[in-house]
Amino acid sequence: MNYRHAFHAGNFADVVKHALLCRLIEYLKHKDKPFRVMDTHAGRGRYDLAADEALRTGEHEAGIAALRASAVWEDALLAPYRSAVEAAETAFGPTAYPGSPWIARHLLRRQDRLSAYELHPVDAKALAAEFAGDVQVKTIALDGWLALGAHLPPKERRGLVLIDPPFEEAGEFERIAARVGEAWRRWPGGTYAIWYPIKRQAQHEAFHEALAEGGMRNVVAADFFREPFSADERLVGTGFAVVNPPFTFAAEAEAVMRALLPVLGVPDRANCGIVALVGE
């Protein structure tokens, strides 16, 4: 386990992922019935953009820092994301940046719960400390892939599973498509959001195809390209596939990504799109 999210927190991919995650959570709040958010690869919960790791890459400069400096920060569809980021800053200082479990927790109502899984011992400890004493949050130092099998469905039988692995092992794309398919068969009523890096065109197309052919219904992919595919393997974009999205998601995701394009994308080269991989 070499991946540490502290090097990448608040980068363009984090911003797009977190802004779209907020749209999914907000939709769940349309009904009073409780829901559960399960974050299978949670990270440490909160990051300091002035910490050594973040300063070494400086990735947040072209991510959350650029967004905060732009008028797009006030976009209405970003309101829940903005609220989470600003709450973290208010609580922990201007260089704080919330990770996915912190954002989810910020958006929960009293009746909702969060289960956050993290396997790296250092980050799992930080995650547990972040939410110590919070009765609405359970942090679990466990393999998130096991949780997808053993801990589904949650007792609320309503909610969202965020799957945000580090993609450090070969075959990770194939594994995700297979695991999400199994999870969906265990709990077909859940919403599943899968983050993925966009680097190579062939790999990207193969992943879309694997999700499309996994036997699931109602799958869309929101793809944000900072720049077009290149000959090398650099991260050119960020993807967010959703199984069982709310009916509002495609239009909202498109609007959010279009708003972010001029801020996070390479001028005249950035693009985004929503792909319906499987119909309802």
Q: Which residues define the annotated binding site for S-adenosyl-L-methionine?
A: 18, 41, 100, 118, 143-144, 164
**Which of 144, 181, 190, 245 is the binder for ligand SAM (CB under 6 A)?**
144
Cis upstream peptide for 153 (omega within 30°): yes
**Which of 130, 164, 223, 252 is the binder for ligand SAM (CB under 6 A)?**
164
227 near ligand SAM, judged by CB under 6 A = no
5 near ligand SAM, judged by CB under 6 A = yes
123 near ligand SAM, judged by CB under 6 A = yes
Distance in Å, CB of 86 to ligand SAM, minimum:
17
Distance in Å, CB of 59 to ligand SAM, minimum:
13
Q: Which residues pair with 60 in a beta bridge?
A: none
Rounded Cα distance between 70 and 80, Å, is: 17
Distance in Å, CB of 238 to ligand SAM, minimum:
11
User: Of the two residues 27 and 97, which places its CB atom closer to ligand SAM in the complex?
Assistant: 97
42 near ligand SAM, judged by CB under 6 A = yes
**Which of 10, 34, 43, 197 is the binder for ligand SAM (CB under 6 A)?**
43
179 near ligand SAM, judged by CB under 6 A = no
41 near ligand SAM, judged by CB under 6 A = yes
- Decide: residue 191, CB within 10 A, 0-12 exposed, 13-18 middle, 19+ buried: buried
| Nearest-CB residue for ligand SAM | 99
Rounded Cα distance between 241 and 195, Å, is: 7
**Which of 99, 197, 245, 265 is the binder for ligand SAM (CB under 6 A)?**
99
CA dihedral 161, 164, 169, 171 (to 10 degrees): 50
**Which of 118, 130, 223, 252 is the binder for ligand SAM (CB under 6 A)?**
118
Q: State residue 242 phi and psi, 5-degree precision.
A: -130, 125
Helix, strand, coil content of the chain in percent (nearest 5): 45, 20, 35
DSSP letter for each residue of 173-240: HHHHHHHHHHHHHH-TTSEEEEEEEE--HHHHHHHHHHHHTSS-SSEEEEEEESS---SS----EEEE
* Catalytic, out of 39, 75, 164, 223: 164
Distance in Å, CB of 97 to ligand SAM, minimum:
9
DSSP letter for each residue of 108-149: --TT-EEEEE--SHHHHHHHHHHTTT-TTEEEE-S-HHHHHH
Question: Does 223 qualify as catalytic in the annotation?
Answer: no
User: Of the two residues 52 and 268, which places its CB atom closer to ligand SAM in the complex?
Assistant: 52
User: Of the two residues 193 and 277, which places its CB atom closer to ligand SAM in the complex?
Assistant: 193
User: Of the two residues 101 and 190, which places its CB atom closer to ligand SAM in the complex?
Assistant: 101
From the list 167, 127, 165, the residue with the least C-alpha distance to 143 is 165
Active site residues: 164
Which residues contact ligand SAM (rule: CB under 6 A)?
1, 3, 5, 41-43, 99-100, 117-120, 123, 143-145, 164-166
